[in-house]
């Protein structure tokens, strides 16, 4: 079960999504049997892999796959109970599904690979009676999973997430998030001129129990992507933006259009800005395996602003977001510098 972006992969058509849902349990059985066949060989790698990191990662992958399959089956069951999705407990039932799945996955990840979350300080999740807009840094493995857990499991809010439409390839996540009215951003090849229209539609429908999550960087931060951003800005002659990017090595440039659309169409929503660090340097499957068991925790800080303290005008939102992103970079830099001196 993953909540992250796969921007290079176009979304599957509806008919293929239905086929994927139908064959997913059978696929799970086949992959589980294959994993069992591989276990003895993976154990033989112990002299070279003393932590059995590859075995742990494959086990966790299979476990997450079955949690995802469980979401598909339970979504089918809820559809049978309410064919038109008009049950008064429709949202609550699906929130319970994702809460349980996230709790199970994060508990198992902690036991198997050492993935654990720590929240810095007291975190408020918006005022009662107000929806919540959540703007987060995007870096390291499973950060979006942790933030979704924070919103659904800790805050008890219904997560309505803005994510790449490539995530429609994941049958379980796609089913439950579609039913919770998340927005799958279309790929650039088929998006037309305005990729924020769906963001605006979703924001205008937020209720007091909802939390709308967006990653304004658009993709996971890595050193390579930050360096690529510097090269592109330099080549384009963007001196001011280049200077800002150089001064903020721990974040990518935040795009303000989606955030501005959220503010304009949900002006009564409180706004939380999430910073996190701990697993920043781990990117890609090979790096994840080398890092297991994780020795650093994923440290999360959330700062919430009242709706009336956050602008709604597009230019003012861009300026406000830029200031917050400078604060996010400073917080990450301070925590990483402190960790390196331990």
Residue 294: give its domain's CATH number.
3.40.1130
**For the whole prediction, is pTM greater than 0.75?**
yes
Helices and strands, number each (H, E), in the chain: 11, 7
Q: Which residues pair with 159 in a beta bridge?
A: 211
Q: Look up the domain containing 104 and give its range.
A: 15-340
The string of DSSP letters for 93-142 reads HHHHHHHHHHHHHHHHHHHHH---EEE-S------TTS-EEEEE--BSTT
**Per-position pLDDT tens, the chain of length 342:** 444 444 457 788 999 999 999 999 999 999 999 999 999 999 999 999 899 999 999 999 999 999 999 999 999 999 999 998 889 999 999 999 999 999 999 999 999 999 999 999 888 888 999 999 999 999 887 888 889 888 887 788 888 888 888 889 999 989 999 998 888 888 664 444 467 888 999 999 999 999 999 999 988 899 999 999 999 999 999 999 999 999 999 999 999 999 999 999 999 999 999 999 998 888 888 889 999 999 888 999 999 999 999 999 999 999 999 999 999 999 999 998 866 544
5 within domain boundaries:
no
Around Cβ 39, how many Cβ atoms within 10 Å? 12
Tokens representing 242 are 């280049």
Backbone angles phi, psi at 118, to 5 degrees: -130, 135
Q: Is residue 249, in this structure, part of any structural domain at all?
A: yes
336 falls within a domain = yes
Rounded to whole angstroms, the Cα distance separating 21 from 27 reads 10
Domain count, the chain: 1
β pairing state of 298-305 and 183-185: unpaired
CB of 248 closer than 8 Å to CB of 329: yes
Residue pair 3/146 in contact (Cβ under 8 Å)? The answer is no
Q: Is residue 3 part of a domain?
A: no
């Amino acid at each position: 079960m993953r909540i992250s972006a796969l921007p290079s992969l176009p979304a599957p058509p509806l008919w293929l999504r239905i086929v994927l849902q139908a064959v997913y349990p059978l696929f799970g059985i086949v992959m589980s049997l294959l994993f069992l066949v591989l276990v003895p060989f993976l154990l033989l790698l112990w002299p070279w892999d003393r932590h059995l990191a590859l075995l742990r990662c494959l086990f966790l992958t299979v476990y997450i796959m079955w949690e995802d399959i469980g979401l598909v089956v339970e979504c089918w069951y809820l559809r049978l109970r309410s064919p038109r999705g008009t049950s008064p407990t429709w949202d609550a039932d699906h929130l319970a599904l994702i809460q349980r799945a996230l709790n199970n996955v994060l508990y198992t990840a902690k036991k198997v690979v050492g993935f654990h979350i720590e929240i810095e300080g007291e975190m408020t999740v918006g005022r009662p009676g107000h929806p919540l807009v959540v703007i987060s840094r995007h870096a390291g493995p499973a950060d979006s999973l942790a933030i979704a857990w924070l919103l659904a499991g800790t805050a008890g809010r219904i997560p309505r997430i803005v994510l790449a439409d490539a995530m429609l390839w994941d049958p379980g996540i796609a089913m439950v998030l579609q039913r919770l009215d998340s927005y799958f951003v279309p790929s650039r090849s088929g998006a037309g001129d305005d990729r924020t229209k769906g963001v605006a539609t979703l924001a205008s429908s937020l209720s007091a129990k909802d939390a709308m999550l967006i990653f304004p960087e658009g993709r996971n931060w890595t050193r390579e992507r930050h360096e690529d951003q510097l090269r592109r800005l330099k080549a384009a002659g963007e001196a001011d933006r280049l200077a800002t990017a150089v001064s903020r090595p721990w974040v990518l440039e935040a795009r303000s259009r989606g955030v501005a659309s959220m503010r304009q169409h949900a002006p009564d929503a409180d706004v939380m800005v999430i910073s996190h660090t701990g697993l920043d340097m781990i990117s890609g499957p090979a790096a994840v395996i080398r890092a297991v068991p994780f020795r650093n925790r994923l440290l999360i800080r959330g700062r919430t602003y009242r709706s009336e303290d956050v602008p709604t005008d597009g230019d003012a939102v861009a300026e406000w977001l830029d200031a917050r992103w400078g604060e996010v970079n400073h917080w990450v830099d301070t925590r990483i510098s402190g960790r390196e001196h331990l």
